[in-house]
Amino acid sequence: MKTRLALLLSLSLATAAHASEDAAALWTAKCKNCHGADGKAQTKTGKKESIVDMSQPAWQKAQTDADIREFIVDGSPRNKKMKPFKDKLSAEQIDSLVGYIRTLKAD
């Protein structure tokens, strides 16, 4: 019984680690150019488009996971350059990006 539990726990941790790597790779491929590696939007496009700093605690607190998901799915109503990803990413990929964005929170 303990062996099964240990195996399930290690598989769960391995799956979570893989999901985290996938989310980081997605961020790099789809989001980093505008939002930056750290979510601070200190990129050429981020500055030009006045993209918000997603690492700020106030922004993190003000946005629900559903809000973030909606921006990814439908694009930004405030900035038309943020195109919808609903036809480019699966629901699982979008959920993983929401989780990844939550890790960008500054202290």
11 located within any domain? no
In a domain, 7, yes or no: no
In a domain, 4, yes or no: no
Q: Determine the Cα–Cα distance for residues 83 and 72; give it in Å rounded to an integer.
A: 8
How confident is the model over 3-14, as pLDDT tens digits?
665 555 544 444
Report the CATH number at residue 82. Answer: 1.10.760.10
Domain annotation covers residue 8: no
Domain encompassing residue 67: 19-103
**Domain total of the chain:** 1
pTM score, whole prediction: 0.78
In a domain, 1, yes or no: no
Q: Is residue 10 part of a domain?
A: no
The pLDDT score that the predictor gives to residue 85 is: 96
CA-CA-CA-CA torsion sign (82, 44, 62, 107): positive
